[in-house]
Amino acid sequence: MQQRANKPGKPAKRSGRAPLPAQWGNALPTIQERNDIKRNSILRAAAHCFNRSGFHGTSMDDIAERLGVTKPALYRYVKNKHEVLFACFNVVMDVSFAHLQRAEQGEGSGLQKVRAALAGYLGELIGELGHPIVLTEEGALQPEQLRALIKRRDELERRFRALVELGMRDGSVIPCDPKMAIFALFGAINWVPKWYREGHEWSPAYLAEKFVLLITRSISAVPEELDSAFSVETYNLQQETSDG
């Protein structure tokens, strides 16, 4: 096992880090990649435990046990439980910002950008990241961590509202209060990990697409354009395809 730990207090970066030399023609992960993989495994295991038992009801032993490693092995990669919780929140934020930025820079109407950003985020939240990523334990963060999180969240909400306003200007979104619209959309999305379970009848990709189409219909200026996507017939058909 690698002894090199990431700097404590810093969430694993998703990109932009100088690559280390590749061995075996890139067939094996680099040291850095292996460290990131391990750290991400820790965050997934921790998120699972936090969501099941809450922050205070979860010990570092629980997280180590879920990963099948010793507690000392765990401490090579993370400093303490608060750092783990904060990192979980930051991973979610990183994912959200990544999809938002892609949507902002991409083509399409304001509504299409909102849809792309939300669907990308939701798909990754319940898919790659593992469904039960923690989102409701802010109260357990330390004050400076909470301030940092709120600052990021405020920026996220502000930029999402700007996309709704863009949609109102380009005619894709009905005249509405962007603040209320974003609260409603975020609520529907952020509640998904409360009921979605791995192996659900809806795949992450299927759910991300259909669910976001459904909830953004609330602000769409042409809500009928996609109505065929919601019909029970389409739903059953898609299910058979994804199951088969």
The residues of the shown chain that bind its own copies, judged by CB under 8 A, are 51-57, 136-137, 139-140, 174-177, 180-181, 183-192, 194-195, 202, 207, 210-211, 214-220, 223-224, 227, 230-233, 235
Question: 242: which 2 tokens?
Answer: 């994804």
Least Å from the CB of residue 214 to its own copies:
6
Least Å from the CB of residue 196 to its own copies:
8
Q: What is the DSSP letter of 8?
A: T
Cβ contact 31:21 at 8 Å: no
User: Based on the number of CB atoms within 10 Å of its own CB, is 103 exposed (0-12), middle (13-18) or buried (19 or more)?
Assistant: buried
Nearer to its own copies, 77 or 211 (CB): 211
Nearer to its own copies, 97 or 206 (CB): 206
Q: Where are the beta strands (DSSP E) in the chain?
A: none
Nearer to its own copies, 171 or 187 (CB): 187
Taking the CA atoms of 81, 123, 7 and 27 in sequence, report the sign of the dihedral they define. Answer: positive
Least Å from the CB of residue 200 to its own copies:
11
Max Cα–Cα distance, the chain, nearest Å: 57
> Count of residues for the chain?
244
3-state percent breakdown (helix, strand, coil) of the chain, nearest 5 = 70, 0, 30
CA 44 – CA 130 distance, rounded (Å): 7
Nearer to its own copies, 21 or 139 (CB): 139
Helix or strand or coil: residue 220? strand
Least Å from the CB of residue 16 to its own copies:
31
Least Å from the CB of residue 1 to its own copies:
31
**CA-based nearest residue to 129, from 30, 212, 42:** 42
Nearer to its own copies, 106 or 154 (CB): 154
Nearer to its own copies, 8 or 198 (CB): 198
Least Å from the CB of residue 127 to its own copies:
17
